[in-house]
Amino acid sequence: MIRALSFCILLSSYTAAQLSLPDPPFLPPNASAGTVPSNSSARSPNAQWSTLLGDLLYFYDAQRSGDLPDTNRVDWRNDSALDDGDDVEIDLTGGYYDAGDYIKASFPLSFSLMSICWGALDFGRGYELANQTAYLDGMLRWGLDWLIKAHASDDTLYVLVGDADTDNAYWGGDENIPTPRLSYQVNASHPGTDAFAGASAAFSACSSLYANRTFGSTGPLSLHNSTYSKTLLSHATQLYDVAVHASGGQQVYQESVPEVADAYGSSSYEDELTIAALFLSWAKDDDSLFDEAEDYYDEFSLSDDLRGVFNWDSKAAGLPILFAQVSNATGHGDATYWQGQAENLLDGIIDNDNGATLTGGGLLYYDGDSDSCSLNPALNAAMLLTKYAPLTSDDQRQKYTEYSDKQLNYTLGDNPMSVPYVIGINPNAPQNPHSALASGGTDIGRIDDSPEKEAYILYGALVGGPDKSDKFFDVRRDWPQTEVALDYNAPLLTLAAYHVLTDEDDPFYVTLEEGAANAHRPKGAPCDAAIDDGCNLPGMSRRGIIAMAVCVGVTGLVVLALFATWFYLAWTR
């Protein structure tokens, strides 16, 4: 009797752990719905932007690992990887598969969670207006609750489950994922300063969100939960502490866990340490942590790094924006100085003075970083511009939001291919995402045509994107162009929430003619790190580089090496 009762209590507290979900649930409409203009007399919020936001969140449901809840909306997904953590005798089930494969990686996950929570601190009311707050809550908790498990003791953080090599040799569904899946950790004697600090920043940013400690008054009102916020803050505090004080010193995490290097090796830890201090200062309303973050910024000369991309590996470009926001909101620090730093950075992006150029079609392109996921750096830049815009003068604001909208429009179909790069939102969207989950195939040698048509539509997934000449081939094996990933969707969520909040016009793709993408289909074949058929250089052997993780530092080096070889051959012919 008593057992039954406490079981009930447990069960009800478990089910109450989330906001109640809409009934009936939100499900992505089919692609043809993305051609129907929304009712012009009822456009606030705009139904198409609301649907896009819903689809983008739905992608994360499709990426879930572990024991799926009764409320699972993705009917073709199964419980999976239920033994994760067995090798180290803890429960590491749950969380998300990071991309088109089946590894679970804390470092890029932390970045995605930080980015999404930060975006909701700015424009969270967009989720509210679109009736998506409960799904945002579910999405965040599925990641954060796993990261809590991965933070197995004060100074232990699991950074990888599954092995990139084994995983890359597997192409198939979620019922036969190869085992054993090993679990790799960093700890006090074998630290990963970036991994500790990155996870701390995610916990702090999300703790602030659940505390309703938003920037401006646009946070998601119903997400407020001080219990959960406090839990997240305690993890943030412990992880920051071990990032600073680990007995093994400070170093990038692949020094301790070389197995992460292929997929998600990190180029430095100074940017994570700084953003962790800054987000923690915001979460705790602690001026001395803000000062600490400023000290790091100077000590590590991070203003020198402002010319690079903002992504899962490099956070420096986000710092002036966040410093300006926190300084503005708290009155602490020199808000004018930080605005100057932020505007230097953002003007540099707009003036092509920060290491990037525009493609012929108008996509912001960073050689190297953009080569294996062209949309991600551009969308992260657009996100920073949009975030910062409320803090500046009317003129600057207009300049920043217009530039951001151009990058967003490009992503949503205003490009030479007439392809909106989000799966399932329009008939012109890509049909062949590189996703072992969605493909339905089991033959790694025939990724492209077995089966002929991808088995499941991976609604809401942004793909890597076109090449530097704006060409997109929609080939499944071509991971630089068609892979999907947790961090790809993150900036787009923030931008979509902003547009739900502010934009009465439909997203660009609604105007695309059905068949437009077919009419603009490029000739030839890709020339990138996965497929070189289009490179037209004799003497090159075909390389079947399949499904390395995504757009990552070390893969980036492989790409550079390949290009170097091609150029060399081209010269010496």
Q: Which is nearer to ligand NAG, 72 or 303 (CB)?
A: 72
The nearest distance, CB 351 to ligand NAG, in angstroms, is 17
Q: Does residue 402 have an active-site annotation?
A: no
| Nearest of 463, 411, 484, 496 to residue 62 by alpha carbon | 484
Q: How far is CA 418 from CA 250, 426, 481, 498, 524, in A?
A: 47, 11, 15, 23, 18
Which residue stretch of 96-104, 169-177, 195-203, 548-556 sits at the interface with ligand NAG (rule: CB under 6 A)? 169-177
Within residues 337-376, the interface with ligand NAG by CB under 6 A covers none
| C-alpha–C-alpha distance, residues 275 and 310, integer Å | 12
Q: Which among 55, 255, 262, 474 is annotated as catalytic? A: 474
What sign for the dihedral angle of Cα 174, 168, 160, 421?
Answer: negative
Which residue stretch of 43-51, 262-270, 349-357, 547-555 sits at the interface with ligand NAG (rule: CB under 6 A)? 43-51
Consecutive H or E run containing 184:
strand 183-186
| Tokens standing for residue 394 | 């009317």
The nearest distance, CB 529 to ligand NAG, in angstroms, is 26
- Is residue 304 close enough to count as binding ligand NAG by CB under 6 A? no
Q: Which is nearer to ligand NAG, 154 or 305 (CB)?
A: 154
Return the axis-axis angle of helices 270-284 and 193-210, rounded to nearest 10°: 30
SS3 535: helix
Q: Which is nearer to ligand NAG, 343 or 528 (CB)?
A: 343
SS3 readout for 305-373: HCCCCCCCCCCHHHHHHHHHHHHHHHCCCCHHHHHHHHHHHHHHHHCCCCCCEECCCCCEECCCCCCCC
Q: Which member of 67, 165, 287, 402 binds ligand NAG (CB under 6 A)?
A: 402
Contact 184, 158 (CB under 8 A): yes
- Is residue 271 close enough to count as binding ligand NAG by CB under 6 A? no
Which residue stretch of 310-318, 328-336, 484-492, 535-543 sits at the interface with ligand NAG (rule: CB under 6 A)? 328-336
Q: Which is nearer to ligand NAG, 112 or 187 (CB)?
A: 187
Residue type, 383: M
Q: Which is nearer to ligand NAG, 270 or 503 (CB)?
A: 503
- Is residue 45 close enough to count as binding ligand NAG by CB under 6 A? yes
- Is residue 398 close enough to count as binding ligand NAG by CB under 6 A? no
Paired with 161 in beta bridges are 104, 183
Q: Does residue 262 have an active-site annotation?
A: no
The nearest distance, CB 543 to ligand NAG, in angstroms, is 28
| Tokens standing for residue 69 | 């809840």
| Tokens standing for residue 259 | 């197995």
**Buried-state track 14-29, b at ≥16 Cβ within 10 A, e below 16:** eeeebbeeeeeebebe
Q: Which member of 6, 44, 78, 288 binds ligand NAG (CB under 6 A)?
A: 78
The nearest distance, CB 141 to ligand NAG, in angstroms, is 7
Residues near ligand NAG (CB under 6 A) are 13, 16-17, 30, 32, 39, 41-42, 45, 47, 50, 76-78, 130-131, 173-175, 184-187, 189-190, 212, 214, 217, 219, 221, 224-225, 227-228, 256-257, 328, 331, 335, 391, 402, 405-406, 409, 437, 505, 508, 511
Residues carrying an active site annotation: 474, 483
